[in-house]
Chain A
C-alpha cells in the first residue's frame, strides 16, 4: 500500500526567506507521480507542482521547486522568497499507477509566513 508521510505539522518562515517542506513516500510501484497542493484558509485545493518517477530533473514552477530524491523516497517542496500569501496548509500526494485521480495524500504541513 502506498503511504505519504509529512513529519512537520507546522512550520514558520520569515518573509522573503526560503523554506523546505518535507515529504517521504513509500510505494512498490516503479511508475508513480508526486504532487504538492496548497490549501489556504478559504479551503480550496490548489495544484502547485508535479514530479514523475522517471523525470530526471527536479520539477520547478515559479517559486516552487520539488527536491526529488528517489533513493531516499523523498519529495520535498522548496518555496523560495516566501510571501505572506504563502501561509497555508500544504499537502504532498502520490498517484497510484497511471491514474492521477487515485492519489494518496499526506496529513499536511501548516506554513506560517512571518512579516
Chain B
C-alpha cells in the first residue's frame, strides 16, 4: 500500500462538462502519474509529474490537463468531457523499479 487515494471513485457526467479527478498520497512521493484503462486494454499514460509544478505529457494527453500545487495532490482535469473519455483512471506513484497504483476512478461520460 503506497498510501494513494483517488476521488471520486465513481462519477457519471455529461458531455461537455469539466471534470476533475484527485489523487492524494501521504508518503511524500515526488513522482506521480495518471493512466487510463479502456475495456479490454492495458493502461496508457496521460500525464506525469516529477514534483510541485513540474508536469509533462504522456502518450494520450489530448483533452486532459493536470496540476500539482502540493506534493501530496495530483489533479487530472478533463476540460470538456467527451464520450471517448469514458474510462477507468488510475493514479500511480513510482518507487525504485516499481509503480504502485491507486484503486482507480470509474468515469462515465454520457
Question: Contacting B97 at CB < 8 Å: which of A4, A100, A106, A108?
Answer: A100
Contacts of B31 in A (CB 8 A): 99, 101
| Minimum CB distance partner of A42 in chain B | B103
- Contact between chains at B101 and A44 (CB < 8 Å): yes
Interface range on chain A (Cβ under 8 Å from partner): 20 to 34
A102-B97 contact in complex given A43-B88, A107-B41, C-beta closer than 8 Å = no
What separation, in Å, do the CA atoms of A52 and B44 have in the docked complex?
Answer: 21
- Contact between chains at B43 and A105 (CB < 8 Å): yes
What separation, in Å, do the CA atoms of A44 and B1 have in the docked complex?
Answer: 11
* Known A35-B98, A105-B44, A108-B40; further 15 A-B contacts with Cβ < 8 A: A33-B97, A50-B97, A50-B98, A52-B97, A91-B43, A93-B42, A95-B97, A99-B31, A100-B96, A100-B97, A101-B32, A101-B99, A102-B58, A103-B99, A105-B43
Contacts of B58 in A (CB 8 A): 102
Tell me the B residues contacting A by CB distance below 8 Å. 31-33, 40-45, 48, 58, 88, 90, 92-101, 103-104, 106
Tell me the A residues contacting B by CB distance below 8 Å. 4, 33, 35, 43-45, 47, 50, 52, 91, 93, 95, 99-103, 105-108
What separation, in Å, do the CA atoms of A103 and B93 have in the docked complex?
Answer: 12
Contacts of A95 in B (CB 8 A): 97
- Contact between chains at B42 and A106 (CB < 8 Å): yes
Minimum CB–CB distance for B76 against chain A, Å: 15
| Minimum CB distance partner of B101 in chain A | A45
- Contact between chains at A44 and B104 (CB < 8 Å): yes
- Contact between chains at B98 and A91 (CB < 8 Å): no
What separation, in Å, do the CA atoms of A25 and B95 have in the docked complex?
Answer: 23
